Amino acid sequence: MVLSSVLGFPRIGAQRELKKITEAYWGGKATADELIQTGKDLRAHNWKLQKDAGVDIIASNDFSFYDHVLDLSLLFNVIPERYSKYSLPAIDTLFAMGRGLQRAATETSPAVDVPALEMVKWFDSNYHYVRPTFSHSTEFKLNGQKPVDEYLEAKELGIETRPVLVGPISYLFLGKADKDSLDLDLITLLPKLLPVYAEILAKLAAAGAQSVQIDEPVLVLDLPEEFKAAFKTAYEFFAAQSGLPKLLIASYFGDARPNIDAIKGLPVAGFHYDFVRVPEQLDAAVEALTEEQVLSVGVVDGRNIWKTDFAKAIEFVESAKAKVGADRVIVATSSSLLHTPVDLDNEKKLDPVIKDWFSFATQKVTEVVIIAKAVTDGPESVADALAANKKSIEARAVSEITVDPKVRERLASVTEADSQRKAPFPERLAAQKSLNLPLFPTTTIGSFPQTKEIRINRNKFTKGEITAEEYEKFIEKEIQEVVKFQEEIGLDVLVHGEPERNDMVQYFGERLKGFAFTSNGWVQSYGSRYVRPPIIVGDVSRPAPMTVKESQYAQSLTDKPMKGMLTGPVTILRWSFPRNDISAKDQSLQLALALRDEVNDLEKANVKVIQVDEPAIREGLPLREGKERDEYVQWAPLSFRLATSGVENGTQIHSHFCYSDLDPAHIKALDADVVSIEFSKKDDSKYIQEFSNYPNHIGLGLFDIHSPRVPPQDEFEGRINDILKVYPKENLWINPDCGLKTRKWDETKRQLTNMVNAAKIYRAKF
């Protein structure tokens, strides 16, 4: 028979239970025991849900209180000394590495002041992982046995699971050398790391685990030869140990074929591939198998919310079955379902027509089971489910909701001139002297703290408990306070603080035609930060101005430049659930044209500084070199320029990027006048040097907005000094890493005051 498998399930809870208890713990309103119990309850619910649905192979150790990669660092003692020296409880060490920790001394404990580790995007997703940070003094050893404990939890419930671990090659490749060990070649750590992996695998076997899923997602990247060779070293080492479980190596998010020779013939039980992304890799995957190895066939999309087309998926699995036999095929999700909302049944307000097109994590679990049953017992065994699915797929294909002829006509008429500013940057810079900016201009990225009062009033307005006029007056009051604060501390380019915005993508999606929205479609972005991605269901256009009123009002309150704040086309696309029936390029260009109208209207309203954020532009870069990447680096910058190039030379265009390994060439292609880049957790001058020849202006972020920590002023001065060693002072802006939405006001005021004062110190030196 063909088995069914889910590679991982969302950890957050259908009602965001994990967020609520975690933030309560951070705020001192919940105990560690209450936090741990909530985690246990969530795991039990998720395992039971999958077992009741009929899933054969259920993952364990897919749960985390913050990030599963960070969990592995804690498990393997990859804890830099700046954290371990405080001898914190394990859960507090985890959180300190993930978000930093700053607290005063008490009678029973010393003061703690430590920043967070670097956080970057998980491949091309909007999930952020905490980068493992190694040094010459890293001593690998087991700290606890989390994977074993969670396996045993499930076993006590009568549920057999397959534990999942990020594999040793991916773990090292995705890490970095600490600031005191920049000469460290990470692959040289493998011989020290493997025995610790083997130790936890042996403990899992002793607990009863028959098999373990080893995630090696770096197989879909362009790997150096030494990392390719390391697969043979690692998995032959495991095979030589006695008493370990069977291992299944899982890749996802892309094409593993260029690295398939590195895993061909490895002594493991089988392999998993993402055939949603790259169905063409089936023949190579089959050819690389031995006669005993199994093939896990990822045909249910773990990254998007569209229903699986059962007919196509079943046909694909039948093809795999014909090649290797039913007993060696597993029907699976393409990746963990971490990237999808929990349960479509929680959506009570969605248009039923559109809702019928969607499938969230709970529904995808059932899809996997249905496909496996159809292949094992024949289509007639699930005839009703197949008929309903076919009806839904066909209804979406012919729906008028998906096509807008006017949008397509406008896109077809776009010319090269539409994506070019009226003059090159030096001429624009001369025209922008009218902004009267000093050396080292200071600004923020856009958002200010979203207080409880803001959320309450937005909720009241949404429910009709206050009028539009009352809500508008409230928003104006919030803008007034934000503008007053910025002027008091001496910021040079101000923002209105975005109190009216629920999310930097959702807010725009709600004002554009072509989107659908959920009430509970939350997905983890990082830590306790969850988002509700909009869903692009049809061609996109802008019916009316979206931000002009608030920006114009904010500008009326000050003589200083006020930034209009927009989210860019690539980021709106990437941080939504995109369509799978037209190209990403066409969706991005449609969004660009809608934003172009908004940019032009902001300029007409006398807003002369306009920021169009593109933090997802690196995230969207195809994972491998080749035709797809070559095309992306053309149409992604084109989308940005199309959105921003309709303005006059004197209007200053900004953009912002964060939490990715950026390429200056890609940023240069946008031709923005000023860019701001997350920088506070970068450890070496090489990153500064990479941008030292950037021809326009740049701001390298000086503090981590994901952490409550307040850097002292001298720390800001030190970072500015380091930057000025390699970067021209005339081109440097001073700003935070990212928006301040998630911070509290007390932290924000002290962080920004220290930042501005540091800029003033350096301004006085020149």
Q: What are the catalytic residues?
A: 706
Distance from the first to the final alpha carbon of the chain: 75
Task: Return the number of other C-beta atoms located less than 10 Å from residue 152's C-beta.
Answer: 17
Residue 498 is assigned to a ligand binding site: yes
Task: Return the number of other C-beta atoms located less than 10 Å from residue 84's C-beta.
Answer: 14
Residue 57 is assigned to a ligand binding site: no
Residue 656 is assigned to a ligand binding site: yes
Q: Which residue has the tokens 């995630």?
A: 215
CA angle centred on 342, ends 338 and 344, rounded to 5°: 140
Residue 445 is assigned to a ligand binding site: yes
Look up residue 50 and give its two tokens.
């999958």
221: exposed, middle or buried (Cβ count in 10 Å: 0-12, 13-18, 19+): buried
Exposure string (b/e) for 728-758, b if CB count within 10 Å is 16 or more? Answer: eeebbbbbbbbbbbbbeeebbbebbbbbbeb
Residue 759: partners with Cβ closer than 8 Å, 6 or more residues away:
440, 442, 716, 720, 734
Residue 125 is assigned to a ligand binding site: no
Residue 216 is assigned to a ligand binding site: no
Contact 701, 680 (CB under 8 A): yes
Alpha-carbon span 429 to 200, nearest angstrom: 59
Alpha-carbon span 463 to 716, nearest angstrom: 44
Alpha-carbon span 120 to 666, nearest angstrom: 18
Residue 314 is assigned to a ligand binding site: no
Residue 680 is assigned to a ligand binding site: no
Q: DSSP letters along 177-204, please?
A: E-TT-TT--GGGGHHHHHHHHHHHHHHH
Distance of CA 268 to the CA centre of its chain: 31
Residue 722 is assigned to a ligand binding site: no
Q: DSSP letters along 571-609, please?
A: HHHHTSB--SSS-HHHHHHHHHHHHHHHHHHHHHTT--E
The DSSP element (H or E) to which 129 belongs, if any, is strand 128-130
Residue 678 is assigned to a ligand binding site: yes
Q: Report the half-sphere exposure of 503 (CA within 13 A, side-chain side).
A: 18
Alpha-carbon span 759 to 576, nearest angstrom: 37
Residue 446 is assigned to a ligand binding site: yes
Residue 19 is assigned to a ligand binding site: yes
DSSP class of residue 306 equals B
How far from 186 is each of 178, 659, 684, CA to CA, in Å? 11, 21, 16
Alpha-carbon span 486 to 494, nearest angstrom: 7
Amino acid at 393: I
Contact 272, 298 (CB under 8 A): yes
* Beta-bridge partner residues of 442: 734
Alpha-carbon span 574 to 536, nearest angstrom: 11
Contact 112, 169 (CB under 8 A): no
Is the four-CA dihedral 281, 284, 286, 292 of positive or negative sign?
negative
68-75 vs 90-99: helix axis angle to the nearest 10?
A: 130
Widest distance between CA atoms in the chain: 80
Alpha-carbon span 723 to 691, nearest angstrom: 10
Q: Which residue has the tokens 């590195």?
A: 262
Residues in binding site: 19, 126, 445-447, 498, 575, 613, 656, 658, 678, 738
Annotated binding residues for Zn(2+), written as ranges, equal: 656, 658, 678, 738
Binding-site residues from annotation for L-methionine: 445-447, 498, 613
Binding residues for L-homocysteine: 445-447, 613
**Residue positions forming the annotated binding site for 5-methyltetrahydropteroyltri-L-glutamate:** 19, 126, 575
